[in-house]
Amino acid sequence: MKMNVKFCRIDDRLIHGQVVTTWVNVHGIEQIIILNKEVAEDQVQSSVLKMTAPANVKLAIFSPEKFLEIIQKNPINRATMLLFSSVYDVEKIVNGGFKMEKLNVGGMRLNPEREQLTKAVSVTEDERKVFKKLLANGIDINIQMVPNDSPIKLKELV
């Protein structure tokens, strides 16, 4: 089944200025699909995200499990960005059979449980393990906030 997924990104802020303006334009994105169970179940947060998405871009929000169900019957035809707030949601769809070649990591904020890898990306030990599994699955993972930044290969940091 051919999917028209142009870009996959982890950003714990989900839709914000950088995502909306730069990445959407660079990849000719027509649709953003946010994959996060909590956001999918939170109508207020979903509404706010829908208001922040550009007018010309369709926004859908699903749990990873629902997404895997939907794409069995409905292949993605629009140029699409998959947007995640955590590496665990990426792991769920990959384990569910979704083929991902590349993953962009834009923002995972530092907190007391996380160790800083770059200015914008920090990970817990568990998140590091999941990233290593994804890398072992052949997924090319780069850290890059905006397209003008030089990408940093995650495998060199974990």
Q: Which of 1, 5, 14, 16 is catalytic?
A: 16
The token pair at 58 is: 């369709």
Q: Are 52 and 139 in contact (CB under 8 A)?
A: no
Q: Are 55 and 19 in contact (CB under 8 A)?
A: no
Closest CA to 75 of 33, 117, 17, 131: 33
The token pair at 123 is: 């990970």
Closest CA to 76 of 23, 29, 137: 29
CA 52, chain centre distance (Å): 17
- Report the chain's terminal Cα–Cα distance, integer Å: 32
Q: Is 16 tagged catalytic? A: yes
Q: Are 133 and 155 in contact (CB under 8 A)?
A: no
Query: Which residues carry out catalysis?
Result: 16
